[in-house]
């Protein structure tokens, strides 16, 4: 049985596009890209969902909570799920929030820190998993998320190349999700169901090639 860990934020958790702060809804298991991937991979695969809305690469959120630091939770997450054959990592969208005051290059360096951690945290009794680094679809922020993601659009254009460079540095595979999926105009951050289907089907093929 091959095992793939999907480590991400609200678009891995399956948050539906939001019309207001209290409009919190989640796509069903078979609708999320992780569930689409699991169905496409079929028997012989276990897909582990580790999505958390608001999760960043390496930043504790001063407003929403320190638990959103993706680096802090990565170690216990890995050790609770070893052994793993593939890790699909898609983070960086929440780093675009002005509250973190980071440029696109620093977001990519944050992802690099996670890639390095995966390599160094693998215990000696199991093989180091293959890693698929996924650059998230460009987030622009619209509707009620316009101010929370102010300036995001100016940063996202540079992210794919920067992410790819980090993937090469740390021996990970790379995929630019923005080539096949786009965020919803409702909030400019989250994916609609049809985009989850496109992403999940495509990533299943990439994961299968790695394992």
Tally of structural domains, the chain: 1
Q: Are 199 and 181 in contact (CB under 8 A)?
A: yes
Average pLDDT over all residues of the chain: 97
Residue 201's pLDDT band, with cuts at 50, 70 and 90, is very high
Q: Are 54 and 93 in contact (CB under 8 A)?
A: no
| pLDDT over threshold 90, residue 211 | no
Measured CA to CA, the distance from residue 33 to residue 27 in angstroms comes to: 10
Q: How does DSSP classify residue 93? A: S
- CATH number assigned to the domain comprising residue 194: 3.40.50.1110
pTM summary value: 0.96
Percent share of the chain, pLDDT over 70: 100
Measured CA to CA, the distance from residue 126 to residue 52 in angstroms comes to: 26
**Residue 165 belongs to domain spanning:** 2-210
């Amino acid at each position: 049985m091959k095992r793939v860990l999907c480590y991400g934020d609200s678009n891995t958790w399956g948050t539906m596009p939001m019309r207001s702060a209290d409009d919190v809804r989640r796509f069903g298991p078979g609708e999320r890209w992780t569930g689409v991937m699991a169905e496409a991979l079929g028997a012989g695969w276990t897909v582990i969902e580790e999505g958390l809305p608001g999760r960043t690469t390496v930043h504790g959120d001063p407003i929403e909570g320190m638990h959103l630091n993706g680096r802090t939770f990565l170690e216990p997450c890995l050790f609770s799920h070893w052994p793993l054959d593939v890790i699909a990592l898609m983070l960086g969208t929440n780093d675009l929030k002005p509250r973190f005051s980071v440029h696109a290059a620093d977001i990519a360096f944050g992802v690099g820190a996670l890639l390095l951690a995966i390599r160094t945290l693998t215990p000696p009794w199991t093989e180091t998993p293959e890693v698929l680094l996924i650059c998230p679809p460009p987030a622009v922020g619209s509707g009620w998320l316009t101010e929370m993601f102010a300036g995001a659009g100016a940063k996202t254009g540079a992210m794919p190349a920067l992410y790819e460079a980090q993937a090469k540095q740390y021996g990970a595979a790379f995929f630019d999700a923005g080539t096949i999926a786009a965020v919803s105009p409702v909030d400019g951050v989250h994916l609609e169901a049809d985009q989850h289907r496109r992403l999940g089907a495509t990533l299943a093929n990439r994961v299968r090639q790695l394992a």
